[in-house]
Amino acid sequence: MSAAGIYVHIPFCRSKCRYCDFVSACGSEEKQRRYVKALVREIYTGREIYHGEADTLYIGGGTPSCLYKGAVHEIVKALDDAFSPCLKEFTTECNPDSFDREKAAELKDAGVTRISLGVQSLDDGVLKALGRRHDSEQAKEAVRLAVACGFDVSADLMLGLPGQTMQDVASFCDFAAGEGVAHVSAYMLKVEEGTPLARDVENGLELPSDDESAEIYDFAYSTLSKLGYERYETSNFCRRGKRCLHNMKYWTMGDYLAFGVAAHGKIGNRRYFNCGDVDEYVEAVESGAHVYETEEMLSEDDVIEESVMLGLRLSDGVDVSTLGRRFSFRFEDRYAKALKEAEKYIVFKDGTLKIKDEYALVANAIIGMFV
């Protein structure tokens, strides 16, 4: 069995961005301390469900870098005690406005090897409209600091933003390449129901059309490629050898443990979802109750379908011959109709199925033909 990844969710941010519906909110130090205590307790109980190895750790959020000093050490100590992970990669998500020299030193000391920084854009007007707390200069400083401290740096870029120009995307890519950023995640803006951005859109805020968004994605893709970043997943680009090992586990149906509010994990065929409310989560842990709200056992069909769905987003594609051997079926037979329908968009060769590069942006529509 290959080693699992570990995901830890931190549901705190200094303020809420206008587009975001992740489980995160402002939290006093007292609230953070109570949460981390609960998290540590949940981690220790994790020993009961998992006895195997773990080799990647991802602390995401929310904003892990806005946690009180020492919190990450407390989490790492609990994980060490519970699982003795032998980490090949330890990522922490950070926001530019809460990542400084002191935070960098603290994270380094805790064993963090990779920092994922939410830059989003280098256009101050766009950043302001998104409700980000940082400006472009602060984002640049944070990236330079993370690189100078020897972290592998990933920078998030958002695409299809109101008012975003190609120049903004070009500046981001040039800056990232020039500063030695190893990895870029480029997310198309999703207007999430109930967010202030969704209300702005209802009130007439104009977003780029589908065609304009496609053009922006293509531009980001070709610019990053020219600068030496390979696209290895629909939204993820990296320098050679710098793929995110933790996220690769999600995309290849590997195992991952998950701790914290709204976190979900998968071990073997069991998938579990923790409750999505911070207070309920903390109270459940404190009272010794289970924090997972739902769990499901993935059937053989679920595993096949998800492997195809996730694998088609990877530039390597899906190894369907291995999948077929594992579950005793012939891919060509089971997916004959979809293969015909998707013929124009895919490459099916040597037991591997891929979406052609030029159709990466419409991957979801093509994947829809297989599910």
Ligand X SMILES: C[S@@+](CC[C@H](N)C(=O)[O-])C[C@H]1O[C@@H](n2cnc3c(N)ncnc32)[C@H](O)[C@@H]1O
List interacting residues with ligand SF4 (CB under 6 A): 13, 16-17, 20, 22, 24, 61-63, 95, 118
Q: Choose the contact partner of 18 out of ligand X, ligand SF4, none; CB within 5 to 8 A by kind.
A: none
CB of residue 190 to ligand X, shortest distance in Å: 4
Stretch that binds ligand X, among 17-25, 77-85, 266-274, 289-297 (CB under 6 A): 17-25
Among 56, 92, 120, 136, the residue binding ligand X under the rule CB under 6 A is 120
Among 14, 16, 18, 20, the residue binding ligand X under the rule CB under 6 A is 20
Q: Choose the contact partner of 16 out of ligand X, ligand SF4, none; CB within 5 to 8 A by kind.
A: ligand SF4
d(CA 199, CA 126) in angstroms, rounded, equals 17
Q: Provide the CA 218 distance to its chain's centre, in angstroms.
A: 21
Q: Choose the contact partner of 91 out of ligand X, ligand SF4, none; CB within 5 to 8 A by kind.
A: none
Q: Which two tokens stand for residue 95?
A: 């926001």
CB of residue 97 to ligand X, shortest distance in Å: 10
CB of residue 161 to ligand X, shortest distance in Å: 9
Q: Does 7 bind ligand X (CB under 6 A)?
A: no
Stretch that binds ligand X, among 146-154, 165-173, 184-192, 308-316 (CB under 6 A): 184-192
Cβ contact 335:307 at 8 Å: no
CB nearer to ligand SF4: pick between 16 and 31: 16
CB of residue 61 to ligand X, shortest distance in Å: 5
Helix orientation angle between 71-83 and 101-109, rounded to the nearest 10 degrees: 10
Helix orientation angle between 210-226 and 166-179, rounded to the nearest 10 degrees: 20
Return the DSSP state at 208: -
| Nearest to 62, CA basis, from 16, 101, 120, 111 | 16
Among 4, 8, 11, 19, the residue binding ligand X under the rule CB under 6 A is 19
Q: Does 154 bind ligand X (CB under 6 A)?
A: no
User: Looking up tokens 């060769």, which residue turns up?
Assistant: 349
Q: Is 184 helix (H, G, I), strand (E, B) or coil?
A: strand
Q: Does 63 bind ligand X (CB under 6 A)?
A: yes
Stretch that binds ligand X, among 97-105, 166-174, 188-196, 275-283 (CB under 6 A): 188-196
CB of residue 19 to ligand SF4, shortest distance in Å: 7
Which residue is at the shortest CB distance from ligand X? 118
Which stretches of 62-113 are assigned E, i.e. beta strand? 89-94
d(CA 311, CA 251) in angstroms, rounded, equals 6
Q: Which two tokens stand for residue 86?
A: 């032998």
Q: Does 89 bind ligand X (CB under 6 A)?
A: no
Q: Is 145 helix (H, G, I), strand (E, B) or coil?
A: helix
- Show contacts with ligand X in window 92-111 (CB under 6 A): 93, 95
Q: Does 367 bind ligand X (CB under 6 A)?
A: no
Q: Choose the contact partner of 68 out of ligand SF4, ligand X, none; CB within 5 to 8 A by kind.
A: none
Pairing of strands 114-120, 89-94: parallel
| Nearest to 170, CA basis, from 228, 235, 223 | 223
Q: Does 22 bind ligand X (CB under 6 A)?
A: yes
CB nearer to ligand SF4: pick between 33 and 133: 133
CB nearer to ligand X: pick between 160 and 311: 160
For every residue of 27-62, DSSP letters joined together read --HHHHHHHHHHHHHHHHHGGGT--S-EEEEEEEES
Cis, peptide link before residue 268, omega less than 30° from 0: no
Helix orientation angle between 71-83 and 29-45, rounded to the nearest 10 degrees: 10
Cβ contact 360:349 at 8 Å: no
Cβ contact 265:275 at 8 Å: no
Q: Choose the contact partner of 108 out of ligand SF4, ligand X, none; CB within 5 to 8 A by kind.
A: none
Q: Which residues bind ligand X (CB under 6 A)?
A: 19-20, 22, 61, 63, 93, 95, 118, 120, 156, 158, 187, 189-190, 192
